[in-house]
Chains A and B, each alone.
Chain A
């Protein structure tokens, strides 16, 4: 069974940066596309970014394009999200999520427990 564990969240000031990490186990990480999905406080879900199995293709939500960068290390079974120029609108619980395919299907068959990012002065 796939296990995903996020880390790196915290309190950051507007304009600041944060790097989220996700460590995967229980499946062959290198064989699957991966994503970050966020949940705004008390609200719904928003896909943030995705990366295919070989890091050959990445995609971003319009709201984070140019500020966030998704990457992966298949040797370390890890997924990352570098977040720059953060604003209060980025405050959310960030989930690492597994795609069911190597090239993105863009739905999510396993999720981590999330890491909370709070952007506030």
Chain B
């Protein structure tokens, strides 16, 4: 199975900051990577797929990049609503694994 490793585990930031979360795959997943946002007590929400394609309706403050084994999620101009846990997920191959999550906190 492909292992997904996110860094950092926890990221402290302030309102207005621009932050970047990294996701590394143990082998190439090409562009088959998604990013999700999860707030406490809520289900995950898809933000980005195919590494850089923003889901319809998701704010353009979120952007994704990368291919192969290294990917990034960048969030610009942080607002209080952005403080949440972010997960990457590869869907190139079985068993469609998720990273362990990055908690973005104030």
Contact = CB atoms under 8 A, between A and B. Distances in A.
Contacts of A100: 49
Interface in A5-61: 43-47, 59, 61
Contacts of B100: 43-44
B11 interface: no
Interface residues on A, range: 20 to 34
Nearest to B89: A107
Given A107-B34, A107-B49, A111-B44, A45 B91 contact: no
B98 interface: yes
Interface residues of B, number: 20
Contacts of A112: 43
Contacts of B64: none
Nearest to A4: B43
Contacts of A46: 98
Nearest to B57: A1
Nearest to B93: A106
Nearest to A48: B95
Contact of B45 (A59, A111, A114): A111
A45 B46 CA distance: 13
Contacts of B99: 44
A113 B38 CA distance: 11
Contacts of A108: 34, 36, 44, 46
Interface of B: 34, 36, 42-46, 49, 55, 87, 89, 91, 94-101
Given A45-B87, A111-B43, 9 more contacts: A44-B100, A44-B101, A46-B98, A59-B94, A61-B95, A105-B91, A108-B34, A109-B55, A113-B43
Interface of A: 43-47, 59, 61-62, 95, 100, 105-114
A-B pairs, top 10 by smallest CB distance, nearest first, are A111-B43, A106-B91, A107-B34, A45-B98, A47-B96, A106-B96, A107-B91, A109-B46, A44-B100, A61-B95
